[in-house]
Amino acid sequence: MALPCSPLQALGLCLAQGLAALWALATIAVQVLRRLFQGQGPVGQRLSPLVTDFGFQRQVWAVLRVGLPNFRVGRILVRAYDNNGTALVCRNRDVREVLDRHQDFEVVYGPRMEEITGGANFFLGMQDGPTYSRDVTNMRQAIRRSDPQELLVPLATAWAEAIVRDGQGQIDLPRQLGAQIPARIVQEYFGLRGPRREELIEWTTLLFWYLFVDLAASPELRPKALAAAVQLQEALDQEISERKICLARGGAKPADDVLQRCLEMQAIGTPGMDDLGIRNYLIGFVIGAIPTLSAAATQIVDELLNRPEQLAQAQAAARDGKPGEFEGYVFEALRYQPLNPVLYRRAVRDSTIARGTWRAMTIPAGTMVLASNYSAMFDPMQVEHADRFWPGRPWHDYIFWGYGMHTCAGAYINSALLPVMLRPLFCRPHLRRSPGAKGQIDRGTTPFPTHLALCFDAE
């Protein structure tokens, strides 16, 4: 949404943005030089930590938004999906345009989604059409918009409170809280009760990594991910079979969960709700549930721990319990450390974006377009107080879960669960990092936070 302003105000914004870009360029140079002259080992090894540093990324986006907001290179950067080059888009208006124009810029996940399911796509990997509409409609009936507040929030609140209380002043956030609560959601709400939570966490981490994060097409990851896919398929097949046998024998009706709703829709002949269809729907949702919530929760806490003043305010808001106040700190922290700094689409045909402006660019068919939602959320031309930590920020400034037709299907579940997962932790006095390396995010061998040790005063 554009900021309303006069021509003079617009000029002031442009000048301020230019000055900010110059400052960001100087900051980038200092950080690069420090890494080069103070580090040891090959140049790439010394500079690589900057690539994943959120503060450094924000400085790079600030420079690009002014000097090179849209550009294309012939080099193929995303090797996991077919393409013939790469375009980068980082202005808020242009990012939203790319994500809105789904007929011109398509999602590309289909081939890997079909590998994971054993042959069928999931609607997040589909273009608009009859099958997409049918599948979205089916899952809106099985996963109701009222479920987060009516079913999931009470469960997650009780679980989070118990986990934090049992920690007795210490917790490894992603391992004990961040991954455990969505894994329980998969068991109790989606209905996949057979596998252990540790198995669900391992499978979904590999599959989400393979589907959305493995842009370089790692040959080592593929066999691990496909083995996890088979295990998840088998677990769901068994769950569906056992549930149907129990119902056929007149057993007690299971609790109201997503699988049960799907089977009830199957019983009345709903198209797309055969056993294989149900399995594939659940695979798509289960993959997205655990790694995303765990990583987001961990990065939110990490960002607030870097901000003592806002941390104290967030803890006060958590204890106070005013509707929406604590949530404001949660989502503003996530803006600074989003799950996906870039969303990618492939040009279906030659398409021009930002038409009529100096930054207009024609993107050839087959180009992979990297649309930076991270940059978009800090674009001062569209986002009010873009460089300020503002817990009361309007929701439309955020692009956490995608945008347009392919916004994450579980976005409203994620938005409801993150604050209730974290509130009990923020209610504890003197929340802080554990000493040394344990108190910093450790991603292990994955792209996701696997450890972040915290301390607090036990009540």
Contact status, residue 370 vs residue 347, Cβ threshold 8 Å: no
pLDDT at 297: 98
Q: Which structure tokens are listed for 261?
A: 């709703």
Residue in the block written with tokens 């689409």: 345
pLDDT at 1: 52
Q: Would you kindly state where each structural domain of the chain is located, as residue ranges?
A: 52-455
**pLDDT band, residue 402 (cuts 50/70/90):** confident
Is residue 9 pLDDT above 90, yes or no? no
Q: What is the largest CA-CA distance in the chain?
A: 75
Residue 257: closest CA among 197, 184, 207, 158: 184
Q: Which structure tokens are listed for 138?
A: 């089916």
Task: Determine what percent of the chain is predicted with pLDDT higher than 70.
Answer: 96
Is residue 94 pLDDT above 70, yes or no? yes
Count the neighbouring beta carbons within 10 Å of the beta carbon of residue 249: 7
**pLDDT band, residue 396 (cuts 50/70/90):** very high
The C-alpha atoms of residue 363 and residue 382 are separated, in whole angstroms, by 23
- To the question of domain 52-455 being in CATH 1.10.630.10, the answer is yes
Q: What angle do CA 133, 138, 144 make, to 5 degrees?
A: 120
pLDDT at 5: 64
The C-alpha atoms of residue 42 and residue 36 are separated, in whole angstroms, by 9
The C-alpha atoms of residue 459 and residue 456 are separated, in whole angstroms, by 9
Indicate the pTM of the whole model. Answer: 0.94
Is residue 123 pLDDT above 70, yes or no? no
Classified as helix, coil or strand, 81 is coil
Q: What angle do CA 142, 143, 149 make, to 5 degrees?
A: 140
Is residue 267 pLDDT above 70, yes or no? yes
**pLDDT band, residue 136 (cuts 50/70/90):** confident
pLDDT tens, position by position, 294-322:
999 999 999 999 999 999 999 999 999 88
Contact status, residue 373 vs residue 408, Cβ threshold 8 Å: no
Average of per-residue pLDDT across 392-404: 92
Average of per-residue pLDDT across 203-226: 95
Q: Which of 57-61, 72-76, 334-338, 405-409 has the lowest mean pLDDT?
A: 405-409
pLDDT tens, position by position, 347-382:
999 999 999 999 999 999 999 999 999 999 999 999
